[in-house]
Structure 1
Amino acid sequence: MERMADLIARQAQDGRLDWIGLRPARLAVPVAVEAVEVTAAGLSGDHARPGPRAVTLLQAEHLVVIGAFLGRGPVAPGVLRRNLVVAGLNLSALRGRRLAVGSAVLRVTGPCAPCSRMEAALGPGGYSALRGHGGWCAEVLLPGRIARGDAVRPLSEEGGDVVAQDDFQRVEAEDHDQRRQVEPPHRR
């Protein structure tokens, strides 16, 4: 019988980078680009800061799911304000793992919870539609260049792929604080 860690680590295929979006300022509309340099601080031209949330990722397959929850077709990636849309990989299974994207290497650090702006961006029920489908945060381990169509490959566990537990706890605490700001007091 195989160990659970081995089963979780195995992916059926590499993924593909379908969309790249830069947010030039905090509330600015994301701009789609074909390619970008990844620096230690995140994507060049994006307003993000270095650390465990430098780059945000969303699973392409979830665009259809979110749209279905809203009673319409797939949602446009820019509306959700994530940096990268990846197809063909279950990002949920990659928490704590390193990903090679183009010549860059990222580490998936934790979930990227939806913010209250999603209700305005998507309409009534937008925030709820994104719960559990808000994407993932990542830190930059190796700067490089990425482009639409690049393979997204999970790297082996060798070399310390797993993020330290205190990093997970810090990201989860930030997500919890963010949710508390949005949820009504009676739901807390």
Structure 2
Amino acid sequence: MATLPRAGRVEWIGLRPKRDVPMAPADAAEAKTGKGLVGDRYTGGSGKRGVTLIQAEHLPAIAALSGHDSVSPVLLRRNVVVSGIPLIALKGRRFRIGDVILEGTDSCDPCSRMEEALGPGGFNAMRNMGGLCARIVEGGMFRIGDAVSAIED
């Protein structure tokens, strides 16, 4: 279970400055240790949900299951879209994106807001594909195109 096929890649970054506003796409983000992303409403608190990530490969499945041709990451309320690496394999592990070291803390299960974002059944369309929550162990910058790689124990 410790072996991953390859490194992943950051495909999209989004920040939400306050509650009930759309995600704002960004080319880069600054992560603060134990907190969150600068400019995102979740900066602060316990830090267990400092960054939320979702698998790019799940977006077409979520779209199909919710009856859409495609689904924009803006609707799904996750900070980072990652391709090429199975995110769930990073739960309980440390990994690096750009200058940042993260630790996967828990699955990022969908919430009832997915009914509003995706329409009726949106919550169920995302079940088991909601992504990963991570805490920021070591802050820094990351950008679209940066590698996502597990840190060996």
Does the pair score TM above 0.5? yes
Paired position in structure 2 for 1:67: 63
Equivalent-residue separation in structure 2 for 1:96 and 1:27 (angstroms): 30
Equivalent runs, 1:100-119 vs 2, <5 Å: 100-119=96-115
Q: State whether structure 2 residue 77 is matched by structure 1 residue 81.
A: yes
RMSD: 0.9
Structure of greater Rg:
1
Structure 1 stretches of 4+ with a deviation exceeding 2 A read: 71-74
Q: State whether structure 2 residue 43 is matched by structure 1 residue 43.
A: no
TM-score, scaled to structure 2: 0.95
Paired position in structure 1 for 2:24: 31
Query: Percent same amino acid among aligned pairs?
Result: 47
CA apart distance, 1:124: 1.2
Q: Deviations over 1:35-68 (max 9, x none)?
A: 1111121111001134211110000001011011
* Runs of 5+ consecutive residues of structure 2 not aligned to the other structure: none
Which of 11, 17, 21 matches 2:10? 17
Paired position in structure 2 for 1:146: 142
The question of whether the paired residues in 2 share the 8 Å contact of 1:9 and 1:94 is answered with: no
TM-score, scaled to structure 1: 0.78
Greater share of helix = 1
Equivalent runs, 1:122-141 vs 2, <5 Å: 122-141=118-137
The number of residue pairs the alignment matches comes to 150
* Runs of 5+ consecutive residues of structure 1 not aligned to the other structure: 1-7, 158-188
Equivalent-residue separation in structure 1 for 2:87 and 2:69 (angstroms): 22
Q: Which has the higher contact order (CA 8 A, sep 6+)?
A: 2
Paired position in structure 2 for 1:181: none
